[in-house]
Amino acid sequence: MTGPLIIVNLKAYAEGTGEQATRIAAAAREVAEESGAVIGVAPAYTDLGIIARDYDVPVYAQHIDGVVPGAHTGHVTAEQVRAAGAFGTLVNHSERRLTLAEIDAALSAARRCGLQAVICTNNVATTAAAAALAPEYVAIEPPELIGTGVSVSKADPGIIERSVAAVRAVNPEVKVLTGAGISTGECVKIALELGTDGVLLASGVVKARDPAAALRDLVSLL
């Protein structure tokens, strides 16, 4: 993939489940085709296979467990989401936090199955530590701003700049996303100007009355 990456995390929102999930995936495909932007979606496991099959967009799992296939009731393996059609996976989202050992195991599982990994972090120190593991992406999201509608790119641009600098110092091959409160094209533009490679967001699109219009706004200043 080339160009800035936008990942829409559908979380467990009712507005991002079932038919609503496919509506958002269709909007992502439509706006990506119109704009040339790279727009991925991270649906619930129950919708992942359908979206991966029917919509030509990068599909990310919201989480994987760092275990191999076997006697692991209730776990979700990298092999399972890859077989369902996933392109990548989030790891260590602030709503699904892991220990360092669990992050490392999940990343190893993602690599084993050819899944692009996006490790989520909440401050500069954890961002640097995540970069040392060499995932494809790290995503800095101050948890206090998630879901507030207050954009990190405006409320705390310094954490983005310091995170980008930390990643570049540790491993310049790792790309940086930012999230928390991202909802407009201006938010995306500022995030990119601060050195990131894209954004990770959720409610700004998932809870929008018109997801396609929300996505068009996000890419409008690219």
So which residues are the catalytic ones? 93, 141
What are the strands, taking DSSP E only, across 43-182?
60-61, 88-91, 116-121, 137-140, 175-179
> 51 near 35, Cβ under 8 Å?
no
Q: How far apart are CA 204 and CA 181, in angstroms?
A: 7
146 marked ligand binding residue? yes
Q: Are strands 38-42 and 198-201 parallel, antiparallel or unpaired?
A: unpaired
CB atoms within 10 A of CB 3: 13
Q: Is 88 annotated as a binding residue?
A: no
10 among annotated binding-site residues: yes
Number of Cβ within a 10 Å radius of residue 158: 10
- Strands (E) across the chain are located at 5-9, 38-42, 60-61, 88-91, 116-121, 137-140, 175-179, 198-201
- Asked if residue 79 lies in contact with residue 52, where contact means CB atoms within 8 angstroms, the answer is no
Buried b / exposed e over 136-148, threshold 16 CB at 10 Å, is: bbbbbbbeebbee
DSSP letter assigned to residue 133: T
Q: Is 203 annotated as contributing to ligand binding? A: yes
Query: Is 190 annotated for ligand binding?
Result: no
Distance CA 102, CA 41 (A): 23
The binding site for substrate consists of: 9-11, 146, 181, 202-203
